[in-house]
Structure formats: structure tokens, C-alpha cells
Amino acid sequence: MALLQITEPGQSIDPHQRKTAAGIDLGTTNSLIAVTRDGTPDTLPMHCGNHLLPSVVRYQGELTLVGQTALDSAEEDPLNTILSVKRMMGRGIDDIDRFGKSSPYDFVSNESGMVRINTVAGEKSPIEISSEILKELVERANQSLQGSLDGVVITVPAYFDDSQRQATRDAARVAGLNVLRLLNEPTAAAVAYGLDSGYEGLVAVYDLGGGTFDISILRLTRGVFEVIATGGDSALGGDDFDKCIAEWIITQASFGQDLSPRQLRGVMLQARTLKEYLSVSSIADIDFMIDGLSFKGQLTRKKMNTLVSELIIKSINACRRVLRDVGEIKIGNVVMVGGSTRMLAVRQAVTDFFGVEPLVDIDPDRVIALGAAIQADVLIGNKPKDEMLLLDVLPLSLGIETMGGLAEKIIHRNTAIPASKSQEFTTYKDGQTAMLVHVIQGERELVADCRSLASFELRGIPPMVAGAARIEVNFQVDADGLLSVSAREITTGVNASVLVKPSYGLSEEEISNMLRDSFQFAKDDVKIRSLAEARVEATRLIDALESALSQDASRLLRADEAALLKDGIASLREVIKSRNINLINDEVKKLMKASEVFAALRMDSAVRAAFSGLHIDQLQEDS
Amino acid sequence: MDFSQNHFEVFNLAVSYDLDMEDLSRRYRKVQASVHPDKFVNATDYERRLSLQWASQVNAAYQTLSSDLSRAIYILEIRGVVIQENPRLPGDFLIEQIERREALDEIPQNSCSLGALAAFREEIDTCIKDYFKEFSESYLTKLGLAEMLIYKLQFFTKLRRQVNEIEERILGY
């Protein structure tokens, strides 16, 4: 007979207790955090009641400011106030040179490739800067929830490459967050519109943000969101619309081409105000004075629309291209995301192209965070019955460098993720025991035109004559769109170890250093932290296994097998109380090993169940 | 858990070229709904690893089976045919290909040609459809013919891709 389990007073072991998970839209200009309460997602207020937190961080020696207060100091302290850090995530110094001649920061580059900014608080990487924004969001969320978050879903642009996604995940790690999933922004938007209830068909998500344009096509079937293609233009956004209008003002006012940066920024701001005003009015009066420049005039909506028409056409062309990738033209719903979709000319063009009125009911600035909150609630396990499932694709092809600097694609863009592919390599010298694989991402033929992701050094290849070794390298992309690589020699079965050197990322050591600095732990605290981590890991295993046992033990295991696992849980629970980190970790490993067979049985049974349900469907349909 | 299943077995289907695509995607969604990593966020590391591998295999299987050409090639591979990189094709077929290519080259690459390109594509699509029909009728009994049809289809799909690329250049994306 199994022993009765008695809970210690005040210590709940119920794995089904409600947890809180949040959705985070980590934006270029603004960031938001949202949670689902009583089935409804809502964004949470920041310091001053506003739900949008400007994605701005200011370093002041000991003090770090985030949000509006930081933004207010942008002009006064430009070197230490960092804006639009999202554009620097997973980027190197050469990328920054390309898009940011006007940015005032003191950039430094180092060995690990990713750019850093010199501030009064020392050198800061985009990962650390982003983690400050995340920490601020979560702190505010904890305050308004009067509790703490169990996990978060963070959204990223669909076209974000591996380095940018990895950087986002690392930022969350530095902020001490449990990331349940990186979710693509367009998918989040479609989820927010609750299209899963009832609607079946194709959905286009048209996302025109400040600096980028994204178009995604999703297929919806009974709660399953299947991304079937993504495309877009990473250099087309609201800022370009402002630029067109600003150029018109400059010509009309005969300002000439030699404006100071301050004057130029002033004219750009005027242009943006005009653009926003003309979304509600058909004509706008212009009357301004900036740094000695003045201009009086008028701009009609009609005129503005002709000024920006080329940009709108560019976005529609990208839509046409994606529809071609999909091979279908019938789109049932169009979801609008991003502040720039408030422009009436944009809405009209989208309506004309897709032949359907776009959905605009949800605030385009908040829609992504709301969708992420819904997904977070499902992932953390609050809706075990929920049918919702998001199936995403790889936005950019993954490949490797071959002879002559050519790119060979291993996993093509728009492949459903998770995805895995193996490729065989061989040695070109007798006795060769190591090999370097350069992994790249992009669509172009030449390595130089693609993004370098990382170099993988395979070591421990058994020495053989040239060409005899057969090294199978496996590329695995997980559900977050992140790549990992493993390798083994086929004829001997020897695993080659893979040493990763990210081109624009941080090494494991740098991340741990950041974690340490970030929490300002003394030596003793590091131990306390490791103990806490070991305990969390152990509790996680106990929760997962208990929940699995209560569901399936009677169905899939003999009584003695179940008892063995229950005993394992009981002894792990005993060990957790000790302060012996090694003992806890050993016990976790033992229990994990013991539960592997059960896990495999459960998955087999789930797959069988999926098909058995289907046979019934089919019988019904056939009869 | 058997990771050596063929792509049809992954969906509990018999090996066949003629698949009901609706049924296939229904099976795909059903399996993913039970193995996808999103369903294992709170599970043990081992279960998460299993889920990742299984979901990857399901995706690969679905990708192969949902395209007519890759499904056809896959079936031949299962039946032991080695698809050649540089196959020998009949002379008249090659001449026909050259003529089609020349016809495509003669269409000027500007926006007035979109109609002509669409007509050209439609013609190719008809040929492709006919070849697939022939494949479906022959692959069970005449492996050699089926293999030859694959090579011809590879030529046509390449030509079709070129039409698309020209169109994309004209349209400026």
C-alpha cells in the first residue's frame, strides 16, 4: 500500500494551484506588461498611471532610471540615456554604424562582437539595458498584482534573427525572469483578437511600427494558430512617413539642406504631429518656429497621402509577396498592429488590397501585450482544457558557410518550428580531430550578405584518414526560434563536443557575471542563490511528476512502478529541506532518470489518443 | 516512442501519393496539439526534450507530405529508388524545355508583360498537373516511369520558380 502523504501546514503541494504569468511587449519606443485576470487580459499601469513605459534607460552612477523620467533627460544627458535599445539587440558595431550615424552614444566593441555603450555606470550591453526595462515592468506588475510573477511571455518581431532572439532571452535571464516562450508579435496580435473562437480561415497581420513593417499570414482552425508565412521590410516604418512629410516641409519652406540636428529633429516632430492630426482631420494648418526657422502653411490629408503613397505601396507589395509564398489569395480577416496603422490612407490601402475591412477595435499599441498575456496564461497551465495552440515558423533561413564563402541553407525560411535537420560533413586532412562550422542566417547566396550567427568548433573527432570520418551535425530550432547544434561521428558513434562562439552574443560566463552584478551578490549570497535554484528545480520536477502521476499512473503504470516514483518524490521532498545542494541535484537527476520511461509512455499515449479521436471524426464524416 | 517511423507512420497513414490534404492537416494539428513544446512548459526536462524532438519530426513529416513533389520523391525513396542529381532525359523532352525557356526569355521584363507571364505560368501549371496525374497512376506499378516523371517535374517546377522570380523583379520586391 502506498504511504499517505501529509502536507506540512502552510506548505501547499497542490500542483494545480493558480499561477500568474504576464505577457510583455518589449518595444522599440514603448514597452508594456499585461496579465490575464478572470479570463480577461489587461495591461498594467506604470509609475504615473500610463500603461506605456517608454523603453528608455538612464544611467546615473549608482542610480538607474527607467521610463518617462529617463526619457525626460534624453536631451540633457544624451550619453547616458539610452533610447531604442531594441535596435541594438544582438547587433555588432558595424550594424550600428549602418543605421545610427545620428545616435549620440559612445559605442565600444569588444571580443564578443555585440556592441556596448560607455556610460557613467560603466560599459553596458544592450542585454543589460533591456533587462533594466524588463525589471521595471515586472516590478510595477508585482506591485499592482500584490504578488510575484511565475513566468512571462516576451514578444519579438517575427523577422528577429537568432542573435536578436537569444539577446532577448538573455536579457530576461539577467532580469531574473522565467521565460515561458518568446512569441512573435503578429501571432500575439491575432491571439488578442480572440479569433480562435469560431473563426476558421486565413488571417493577415499587418504590423506597421515606428521603424519596421511586418506581414504575417496565419491559418486558424479550431483554436490552432498556424503561421504559414511571414515577410516584411525591416527598413520601413512610421519614421519614414515622418521623413517624407518633413522633406515636403523643408522644400515648401525653402529651408535648404543644411539644417542642424536640432532643427532637423524639430521639423521631424512637426511632421509626426501633422501625420497624427491628419488621421482625424482632412486639413492641417502649419505654423511653427524652431531654432530660428519658421514656416506657415497648410497640408491637406490628400496631399499627405500622395507624399507617402510610395511607402504604402511598398508595404502592399510585401503583402503581395507573402500571399504568393502562401499560394492563396482569400484572406478572411486582417489585424492591424502598430501606431502607424492609425493613418487612414494605410487602412484604405489595406482594405483595397485584401478586400476586407481590417480589424482595428483593439488599441494597436496594446494589442501585442494583450495577446502575449493570453498565451502566458495558457502556458503556465491555468487553462488545461484550452485548445489554443500556436504553431510558428522560422523567419529567416539557417545555413552554413561552404567553400568559397557560399551559403548553404540547412533549414529554409517559413519552415514550421520546432525544426531539426541533420547534415553530414567529413574531414579533409588525415587525422583531423576538430572542425569549424560557421552558422549563418539569411536568404542571400554569399556568406558576406547573410548574418553571422556563430562559429561552432567540433572537437573530439576520432582521427581517421581524410574523408573517412562522417560527422553528423544536427541543427535544432526550438519553439522560441532559437538554434542549438550537436554533432557526432557516425561510424564510431563518438559525440563531438560543440564549442559555441556567438558572433553577436554573450558567452555563458559573461551572462553569469551580469547575473552576479545585477543582483549585487556577495559570495555567501551566491551559495544561497544556488541553493534556491536547486530547490526550485526540484520542486518543479515534483510538481510536474505528481501532476503526471495523478493523471496517468493508474492507466500506464503497474502499481510497483508508480510506487517507485512516489517513493522517489518522497525522498526528494525530504532532501529539499537540507541545505546540501549536491544532494538535492543528485536526487533530482535520479528521479528524472527513473521517470523517463513513464514520460515516453505518456507521450505515446497522447499521440495515440490524438489519432483515435480522428478515426471517430472520419467515420462520422464518411457515413 | 519510435523516431525511426516514416513520415506517413507519424500520422498513422499508409504510404500513398493520393492523400486527402484536409485529413492530413487535421492529423497534423491533432498530433501537434499533443506533442508541441507549449504543452510541456511545466513538465520535466526529459519530457520537454522528448516533446521538442517529436514536434520537430512531426513538422518535418508534414512539410514533406504536404508538397506534391516532395511527397512523390519521398515515396520513391521509401520504395528504394535513388533520385539522381543529373538524370538522363529523353531528347524530345529536353528540346521542349529549351523551347519553353526561350519563350520565357522572349517575354520582355517590364510591367506590360504581367499578363503574358501569367499565361505562361498557367500553361506550365497544366503540364505539372498532368505529370502528377500520370505519377499517381504509375508509381505503384511502374517505378521507372514514376522516377522519370519526377525528373520532368523537377524541370517544370524550376521553370515555374523562374517565372515567379521574373514577376517579383518586375513588381519590385
Q: What is the pLDDT of residue A98?
A: 62
Q: What is the pLDDT of residue A500?
A: 65
Q: What's the mean per-residue pLDDT of chain B?
A: 91
Instruction: List CB contacts of A57: < 8 A, sequence separation 6 or more.
Output: A64, A65, A66, A70, A81, A82, A85, A129, A132, A133
- Check B29 against A380: CB less than 8 A apart: no
Per-residue pLDDT for A558 more than 70? yes
Going by pLDDT thresholds of 50, 70 and 90, the confidence category of residue A265 is: confident
How many other β-carbons are positioned within 10 Å of the β-carbon of residue A3?
9
Choose the mutation target among A180, A224, A565 for the interface with B, i.e. most B CBs under 10 Å.
A224
- Check A614 against B47: CB less than 8 A apart: no
How many other β-carbons are positioned within 10 Å of the β-carbon of residue A31?
26
Q: If DSSP codes are grouped into helix, strand and coil, which group holds residue A223?
A: coil
Q: If DSSP codes are grouped into helix, strand and coil, which group holds residue A595?
A: coil
Per-residue pLDDT for A566 more than 80? yes
Q: What is the pLDDT of residue A197?
A: 63
Instruction: Kindly state the cell numbers that stand for A28.
Output: 522599440
Choose the mutation target among A18, A326, A377, A389 for the interface with B, i.e. most B CBs under 10 Å.
A389
How many other β-carbons are positioned within 10 Å of the β-carbon of residue A223?
17
Q: Which residue of B has its CA nearest to A537?
A: B44
- Check B44 against A419: CB less than 8 A apart: no
Residue with cell 489569395: A329
- CA B94 to chain A, closest CA, distance in angstroms equals 28
Active-site hit among A128, A162, A170, A185: A185
User: In degrees to the nearest 10, what's the CA dihedral of B50, A571, A542, A3?
Assistant: 110
A429 is catalytic: no
A-B C-beta contacts closer than 8 Å? 125
Contact list in B for residue A618 (CB cut-off 8 A) is 23
Per-residue pLDDT for B90 more than 70? yes
Which helix (H) or strand (E) segment holds residue A456: the answer is strand A451-459
CA angle A90, A92, A93 (to 5 degrees): 145
- Check B63 against A416: CB less than 8 A apart: yes
Q: Which residue of B has its CA nearest to A150?
A: B42
Contact list in B for residue A380 (CB cut-off 8 A) is 41-42
- Check B45 against A592: CB less than 8 A apart: yes
Instruction: List CB contacts of A484: < 8 A, sequence separation 6 or more.
Output: A475, A476, A478
The single-letter DSSP state of residue A292 is T
pLDDT tens-digit readout, A245-262: 989 998 888 887 777 777
- Check A380 against B41: CB less than 8 A apart: yes
Q: What are phi and psi of A373, to 5 degrees?
A: -65, -40
Q: Which of A2-11, A74-83, B10-19, B61-70 has the lowest mean pLDDT?
A: A2-11
pLDDT tens-digit readout, A269-281: 888 889 989 988 9
pLDDT tens-digit readout, A456-498: 888 888 888 888 888 888 899 999 999 888 888 887 777 766 6
A185 is catalytic: yes
Average pLDDT for A436-449: 87
A86 is catalytic: yes
Instruction: List CB contacts of A265: < 8 A, sequence separation 6 or more.
Output: none
Q: Using CA atoms, how far apart are residues A507 and A512, in angstroms rounded to an integer?
A: 9
Per-residue pLDDT for A84 more than 90? no
A363 is catalytic: no
Contact list in A for residue B62 (CB cut-off 8 A) is 416
pLDDT tens-digit readout, A380-398: 988 877 778 999 999 889 9
Per-residue pLDDT for A134 more than 80? yes
Residue pair A206/A337 in contact (Cβ under 8 Å)? The answer is yes
Share of residues in chain A with pLDDT > 70 (%): 89
Q: Is A344 on the interface with B (CB under 8 A)?
A: no
Contact list in B for residue A317 (CB cut-off 8 A) is 171-173
Q: If DSSP codes are grouped into helix, strand and coil, which group holds residue A410?
A: strand
Going by pLDDT thresholds of 50, 70 and 90, the confidence category of residue A573 is: very high
- Check A541 against B44: CB less than 8 A apart: yes
Going by pLDDT thresholds of 50, 70 and 90, the confidence category of residue A3 is: very low
What pTM, to 2 d.p., does this model score? 0.84
**Touching B: A residues 536-555, CB under 8 Å:** 540-541, 543-545, 547-548
Instruction: Kindly state the cell numbers that stand for B104.
Output: 520565357
pLDDT tens-digit readout, A169-224: 999 998 989 999 999 999 999 999 876 566 788 999 999 987 788 899 999 888 88
Residue pair A39/A222 in contact (Cβ under 8 Å)? The answer is no
